[in-house]
Amino acid sequence: MFYILIIGGVQMSLKLGVVGTGAIGKDHIKRLAFTLNNVELIGVTDIVEGRAAQVLDELGLSNVKIYRNDIEMLPDVDAVMITASSVAHAEIALHALNAGKYVFCEKPLATTAEDCLKIMEAEKKYNKRLLQVGFMRRYDKGYQELKQAIEEGVIGNPLILHCRHYNPVVSLNYTTEMLITETLIHEIDVLHWLIDDDYQSVQVIYPKNSTIAEKQQMQDPQVVILRTKSGICIIVEIFVSCQYGYDIQCEVVGEKGIASLPEPTSINLRLNGEQKTTILMDWKERFIEAYDVEIQHFIDRIVGENTLTGPSAWDGYIAAITADACVNSQKTSAIEEVVLVDKPDFY
């Protein structure tokens, strides 16, 4: 099944292939096939034997081709979506960029800063942006409304941010380090974009451990303090076994007021001596619209303007370097500097 956009008789849809058909891959395949416009899902590939076929079968997408690997798929597509495992991101991205294809790469861009630099190098040759990293929060209405309020000066200059990234529960193989690389990574990206500033240093503090986390030898919660170049102090509480819900909070303290991220709505109940609303338990519901908007935006920028404006390889590199500094601070308990290469004019 596919959609075709025709303007003046000319087909305008983006031919796209997906690399990796795991959980997030499958979600994006559904989006591409049934919800988004101006895109044609040409093919998929997966390193796990038989998984691609199973996913397509489950979704009733018998017309989508299964390729043996990403390299084989490249000639048939305009763009590649990378939803493979994190360690494979860099290699797949480099294949695609070297073939001159557009790339949508789920976060993280790569697992090392070095690989991020290689990707930037590969993209540079074309003198235009070819790659977007899947930091979907920038496409969330709430964050956008918050950013607009900050930019309009509603609360004056931002001085402090206080954020929470809480999950009710994580898998048993989650580790202390993954609270940074898998959880905090979203805040690392969205917050420097939100306040249009760069990170100077980071510090990770370990509060008293939760008994649940202790059992799986993980430190949870953690408090991360990020300082920006202009001096803004960002405090993020990460807590991935908080039990009560998936809760994303962001308060920006400005010189003259505080602006806070909207909470998801629900019906309000008065029942049994309580007034209450619902907190989401499932992270997938929280940013479900943002995912749609993000990928439609990726498609439409390419189809309409032949370039990209979303989170870039440079943003992926910032995230990698900053996460590395946090992981170092986990070990040293010290303030760690965030040291970036010079920003290429290109971005």
Peptide bond into 168 cis (omega under 30): no
> How distant, in Å, are the alpha carbons of 1, 7, 10, 21, 56 from that of 33?
7, 20, 21, 14, 10
> With binding defined as CB under 8 A, does residue 260 bind its own copies?
yes
For the bound state, the minimum distance from the C-beta of residue 1 to its own copies, rounded and expressed in Å, comes to: 5
Q: Which is nearer to its own copies, 143 or 314 (CB)?
A: 143
> With binding defined as CB under 8 A, does residue 86 bind its own copies?
no
Judged by CB under 8 A, the chain residues 148 through 177 that form the site for its own copies are: 149, 154-155, 157-160, 162, 168
> With binding defined as CB under 8 A, does residue 217 bind its own copies?
no
Could you tell me which stretch among 81-89, 93-101, 118-126, 147-155 binds its own copies (CB under 8 A)? 147-155
The dihedrals phi and psi of 41, each to the nearest 5 degrees, come to: -80, 105
Could you tell me which stretch among 100-108, 130-138, 230-238, 324-332 binds its own copies (CB under 8 A)? 230-238
> With binding defined as CB under 8 A, does residue 59 bind its own copies?
no
Q: Tokens standing for 71?
A: 């390299």
Judged by CB under 8 A, the chain residues 36 through 55 that form the site for its own copies are: 37
> With binding defined as CB under 8 A, does residue 8 bind its own copies?
yes
For the bound state, the minimum distance from the C-beta of residue 256 to its own copies, rounded and expressed in Å, comes to: 4
Query: What order of strands is seen across the sheet that includes strand 79-82?
Result: 65-66, 39-45, 14-19, 79-82, 102-106, 131-134
Nearest residue to 93 via CA among 150, 134, 34: 134
Task: Provide the CA 216 distance to its chain's centre, in angstroms.
Answer: 26
List 49, 75, 127, 208, residue binding its own copies (CB under 8 A): 208
> With binding defined as CB under 8 A, does residue 84 bind its own copies?
no
Residue whose token pair is 């081709």: 65
> With binding defined as CB under 8 A, does residue 209 bind its own copies?
yes
For the bound state, the minimum distance from the C-beta of residue 169 to its own copies, rounded and expressed in Å, comes to: 11
Q: Tokens standing for 149?
A: 């309020």
Nearest residue to 187 via CA among 259, 252, 242: 252
List 22, 281, 283, 293, residue binding its own copies (CB under 8 A): 281
List 27, 212, 216, 297, residue binding its own copies (CB under 8 A): 212
Kindly write down the DSSP assignment for every residue of 298-310, as one continuous string.
Answer: HHHHHHHHSS--S
For the bound state, the minimum distance from the C-beta of residue 126 to its own copies, rounded and expressed in Å, comes to: 29
Q: Which is nearer to its own copies, 96 or 191 (CB)?
A: 191
User: What whole-number distance in Å separates Cα of residue 305 and Cα of residue 136?
Assistant: 20
List 142, 310, 311, 316, residue binding its own copies (CB under 8 A): 142
Residues 283, 285, 288, 291: what is their CA dihedral angle, to the nearest 10 degrees? 10
Rg of the chain's alpha carbons, rounded to an integer? 21
Could you tell me which stretch among 30-38, 72-80, 89-97, 185-193 binds its own copies (CB under 8 A)? 30-38
List 127, 217, 268, 306, residue binding its own copies (CB under 8 A): 268
The β-bridge relationship of strands 199-205 and 158-166 is unpaired
> With binding defined as CB under 8 A, does residue 3 bind its own copies?
yes
